[in-house]
């Protein structure tokens, strides 16, 4: 955001700002290794980058920002690193919740809660309860999240409803399954950004990303800043989204793209 600019000015400068952006915050470890620092330092700086990104998302006028903070697969990391990431989540909620609430941010957490320690579960509940009525930006923290596990849980919920006689198998459709995902009620992400040059989804929002645009940035997550965010949004604005349909030109019978 250029100094003195309002959210409306940014919207004018970056037409077609997406409603929902998902971010795979990758590269903290490499950022630290390149500097001869311990991995935790990369995660700490990653938390700083996340803070700036939330502020930018508010300024850019996004409605939803989903960040991949801890995947179900991340439990396989060394025990100390897992503890560090849990500690950072606690620090984020304890230090930033007041500020997030004041800024009108609604916090929502997706992912498995039962595997988390009671103090973390309590903090996540507190964050959601306090900010439930906020409407400026919904910050969705994917923590202990895995898309396959989320889809399997939704399938299980539907199967239980069938077994209980409340639902017929023939009634199951995309809408009913979507409504049983952790993201029920949240529009699908328009744009997914991944830092650190990797080009994969890594079990993040796989159902929801069916028609998302992807922007892959070479920088490591701690270096992601407002300028990088704007670059990704500008690239998104320049793309043509067809959702499986033909282009306007195609409809006129000239070119057909799928």
Q: Which residue's CB is nearer to ligand FPP, number 10 or number 141? A: 141
Q: Which residues contact 228 (CB under 8 A, 6 or more apart)?
A: 195, 217, 219
Among residues 59, 63, 74, 203, the one annotated as catalytic is 74
DSSP symbols for 101-164: HHTTEEEEEES--TTS-HHHHHHHHHHHHHHTT--SEEEEEEEEE-HHHHHHHHHHHHHHHHHT
Among residues 26, 96, 182, 190, the one annotated as catalytic is 26
Q: How far apart are CA 158 and CA 235, in angstroms?
A: 38
Q: How far apart are CA 232 and CA 16, in angstroms?
A: 12
Using alpha carbons, select from 7, 18, 11, 24 the residue that is nearest to residue 188.
18
Residue 147 annotated as lining a ligand binding site: no
Closest chain position to ligand FPP (CB): 29
- Chain residues binding ligand FPP by CB under 6 A are 25-30, 43, 46-47, 50, 69, 74, 85, 88-89, 92, 141, 196, 221
Say whether 26 is catalytic.
yes
Residue 29 annotated as lining a ligand binding site: yes
Residue 239 annotated as lining a ligand binding site: no
Residue 43: CB minimum distance to ligand FPP, A:
5
Q: Which residue's CB is nearer to ligand FPP, number 107 or number 154? A: 107
Dihedral (CA of 148, 151, 157, 158) sign: negative
Residue 135: CB minimum distance to ligand FPP, A:
22
Residue 89: CB minimum distance to ligand FPP, A:
4
Which residue ranges are tagged as binding site for substrate?
27-31, 39, 43, 71-73, 75, 77, 194, 200-202
Active site residues: 26, 74
């Amino acid at each position: 955001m250029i100094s003195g600019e309002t959210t409306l000015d940014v919207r004018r400068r970056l037409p077609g700002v997406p409603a929902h952006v998902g971010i795979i915050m990758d590269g903290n470890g490499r950022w630290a290794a390149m500097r001869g620092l311990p991995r935790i330092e990369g995660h700490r700086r990653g938390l700083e980058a996340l803070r700036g990104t939330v502020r930018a998302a508010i300024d850019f006028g996004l409605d939803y920002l989903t960040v991949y903070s801890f995947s179900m697969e991340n439990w396989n990391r060394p025990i100390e690193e897992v503890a560090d990431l849990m500690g950072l989540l606690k620090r984020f909620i304890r230090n930033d919740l007041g500020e997030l609430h004041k800024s009108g941010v609604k916090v929502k957490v997706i992912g498995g809660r039962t595997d988390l320690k009671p103090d973390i579960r309590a903090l996540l509940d507190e964050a959601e309860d306090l900010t439930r009525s906020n409407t400026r930006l919904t910050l969705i923290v994917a923590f202990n999240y895995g898309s396959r596990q989320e889809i399997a849980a939704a399938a299980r919920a539907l199967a239980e409803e069938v077994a209980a006689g409340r639902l017929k198998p023939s009634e199951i459709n995309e809408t009913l399954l979507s409504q049983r995902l952790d993201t029920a009620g949240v529009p699908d992400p328009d744009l997914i950004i991944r830092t650190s040059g990797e080009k994969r989804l890594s079990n993040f929002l796989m159902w929801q990303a069916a028609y998302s645009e992807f922007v892959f940035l070479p920088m490591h997550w701690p270096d992601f800043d407002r300028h990088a965010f704007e670059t990704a949004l500008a690239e998104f604005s320049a793309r043509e989204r067809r959702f499986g349909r033909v282009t306007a030109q195609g409809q006129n019978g000239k070119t057909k793209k799928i």
